[in-house]
Chain A
C-alpha cells in the first residue's frame, strides 16, 4: 500500500467513524502491533473504532474494495496474537460499541454490543439485577464479553453450565460482504433467548477468530446468583488420582466450579496438585451438607482436605477474581499459556509432562485446569511468564509454547485460541474433509480473504 493510497484510505475511514476514531499514527499503531503474549510484533496499517453496526458495514465494504485485511479486536487479551494482523490491514477496535441493550430476567439473557467488557456487564448486574450473574472468564475486566465468548472461552460457572461459546443465544454479524445477518432465535423472533430450533450457524463464528465476519451484537445466557458460596480446598500427591476424584465430585451435582493447579509458590504447595471445588447454597445448612460430602470424597480419592488459607479464600471467593496475578510471576510483563481442551483420562499425563516441559525451559511449572460442563472437557493451562524486555527470554517462552502445543495434540487434546503456529499444528492433524469444508465455507463467505487473513489458513 503506497503512502498516497494510505492517506486516501485514512480519509475514508475518518469519514465513516469520525476523525477522532481512525488513525494511522505510528504512536497509536504501536500497541496494536503486539499483545502481552510472546508473539512477535506485526505491522498494523490503521486502527478504527466504529460506534455502530452500520459503521462496521462500511469499514468492511471499504476493506473488500481495497482488499485490505480486517482484524476485529475486543480487549486484546487472548495473549496468542489473534488480534495482531498477519498481513497488515485494519484493526477494528470494537470497544466503543459498548451498550447493554437488554437484560431479560425471564429468559435470563443479556443482549449487548460487542464492545461491552466483562467488568461492565458484571457491574451492571451487580447494581441492577442482584439475582443474576454473568459467565466471566479468568481474565481481567477489560476483556470483552464477545471476545471471550467467540474464542470459546471458559471461566466461572463453566463446570455447572458449560463453555462460554455454548452460552451464546444469538449473534448479529456483519459478513465479509458487508451484509448484516442475525443468527439464533432473533432471526425469527424478537426474543434473543435461544439458538433456536433452526439450522445453527452460530458455531461458524466461534473459535474462528474473526475469519468469518465481525460480530456486532450478541445475546448471552445469564444465571441465577446463589446466596452463599464456599470453597472446598484439597491437595493431592499424585496427578493419577485426578480422574477418579473429579468423576466422584461431578456425580454429586454440587460443584459450581472446579479448579486444579500445580505451582511452585507458595512453598507449601510445591509438588502437589491442589483442587478447589466451589459449592453454593441458599443456607448454611446447604453449604455444610455439601462440604461434608465433598470432604468424604476427597479422603476416599487420596486428596487431603485442608482449610483454604484466608488469603486464598478472600481471593477466590471474591468471585470472579479477574486473574492477572499469574502474569506477574516474573515481574517482566509477559505472559502466555497454552490452554488446551484435554480429555479427562489424559489429565494426569498432562500434569506430569507439562511440569517436565516447564523445567526443560527453566520456567517454574505453573499448571492449572478447569472443568467445563462436568467432565466432558477440561481446559488445561500450561503457563509461561517471561520478561518482555529480554528477547532471549521471550524466544525461550515461544519455544516452550510451541512444544506444549505439540504435547497437547499428542495427548489427544486441542490447543485453545491457538496462535498461528498452534493453528498450523492443529490443521496439520485435522481430518482432511474437515479442512476442505472449512476452506469451502471460508472462500464462499470471504472470497477476497480479508477477514483476519492468515488465521486458520488451509493451504
Chain B
C-alpha cells in the first residue's frame, strides 16, 4: 500500500497517538530508533516527529530550520513501521516523514549538507550524489565484454560505482562467471538520496531517463547489488508514477535461485564466523530477510551467527535517510553500536548486501578499531570457487 505523494499523508498524520511503541525493539529491551536513542527528547521519536509535522501543517507552529532539522535527523530505518500498533497507518510512517521533508524543502528549509545531494545529482557532469564525473559505464562494458543489448541490466548504483568499486567488480565477475546475459547502461542516480531527503523536483525526470535506458538495452530484468537502489526501483519509482515492464531483482535473489536450482555450487570453503547485518532498505522496507541468510548457508565452512537484534528487529547501520551526509559523526556512532553488537556474537566478519551499509560499517570499523572484516556477500562469493551448470 502506498500513500499518495501529494496529499494523503496530511489527512492521517494526526492519527498517531504517541504511544511510543515506535521507539522500541520487539521485546522492549532497548530503544531501536536511532534518532530517539541519540537525542532523547520526545520530539525525536517517530511519534514526536509526527506530532511536530501535524503542528507544522496545521500552522500551530511555524516552519523553521530547527523544525526541519528534527525531520531530517532520522535514518528512515523503518523500525517505527514495524512496531507501531495501528494497522493501515504503520505502513506509512516513513512515507509521512519523507513527505514532510519535501514540504520542508518546499518551504525553503532544506538543511545545507543535504542540499549537496540534489546539487550533485542534477549537475549534468555528475548525475550522482558523490560529486564524481558521471561514468557512462562504456569502459566497464568493454572490460567485461558486455553487449549493447541483453536480457538483464545490472544497475550498479552510485555507491558501488563511485565508492565501493570492489563490490561492483565482484558483482560483474559473478555475473560473468554465472553466464548471465547482461549489460550496463549509462545510468543516472536512482534518486534514493533525494527522495529520502525530500528533494523531489526532478525525480520523475531521472526515473524516466533510467527506464528509457533499460528499455533501450532490451532488458526484461534488472539486477542491482544495492539495497537502496532495489527499494527505490521497486517501490519508489512506482510511487512516482513509473510504468515499466521489467522485473527487478537484488543480486542475492538471483544467487539464491541459481543455488536452489542446482545451477550454482560453491566448491571451496569459507572457514569464518560471520554475522549478517540486515540492510533496512532490503529488510524492513522490502521484507527480505531469509534470502541472504539461505545463501550464506550454502557456503561450505561458513558459520553464520545472529546478532541479538536481527531481521525486523535489526539496528540500523545509520547511513540512510540522508543521515550519512547530514550528520556524519552521529551516523558513524550508529554503526559503532551495530559493530559492538556484532562483537558479542564472536564473529570476525560482518557481512551485508548493501554498499551503503558496507560503507558506514567500514567507516566505523576503521574509526573505532573494531577489527572486523566488513564484506558484502557477493564479495565473499567472488573469493570462492564455484561451478556453474546448464546456464
Chain A residues in contact with chain B, CB under 8 A?
20-21, 23, 25-28, 30-32, 34-36, 47, 49, 75-77, 93, 95-96, 117, 119-120, 122-124, 126-127, 140-142, 322, 324-325, 327-328, 331-335, 387-389
Contacts and interface: CB of A to CB of B under 8 A. Distances in A.
B390 interface: no
B61 A141 contact: no
Interface string B6-25: 00000010111111110110
Contacts of A140: 19-21
Interface centre among A21, A28, A49, A327 (most CB of B within 10 A): A28
Contacts of A47: 41
A141 B64 CA distance: 32
B74 to A, nearest CB: 14
B48 interface: yes
B54 interface: yes
A322 B84 CA distance: 12
17 contacts: A30-B55, A30-B60, A35-B18, A47-B41, A76-B42, A123-B27, A124-B29, A140-B20, A142-B21, A324-B19, A324-B85, A328-B15, A328-B86, A331-B12, A333-B14, A333-B15, A387-B14
B70 interface: yes
A328 B14 CA distance: 11
Given A20-B39, A77-B20, 14 more contacts: A27-B43, A30-B55, A30-B60, A30-B61, A34-B51, A93-B41, A119-B24, A120-B28, A141-B28, A142-B21, A331-B12, A333-B17, A335-B17, A387-B14
B27 A30 contact: no
- Which 10 pairs between the two chains have the least Cβ-Cβ distance? A142-B20, A119-B28, A140-B19, A123-B29, A389-B14, A27-B67, A324-B19, A327-B17, A141-B28, A123-B28
A28 B20 contact: no
Contact of B42 (A25, A32, A322, A328): A32
B52 interface: yes
Nearest to B18: A36
Q: Would you call the interface of chain A mostly helix, strand, loop, or mixed?
A: mixed
A126 B27 contact: yes
A389 B40 contact: no
A156 to B, nearest CB: 15
A27 B40 contact: no
Interface centre among B14, B52, B89 (most CB of A within 10 A): B14
A142 B29 contact: no
Given A77-B19, A95-B40, A26 B27 contact: no
A49 B42 contact: no
A32 B51 CA distance: 11
Nearest to A141: B28
A27 B48 CA distance: 10
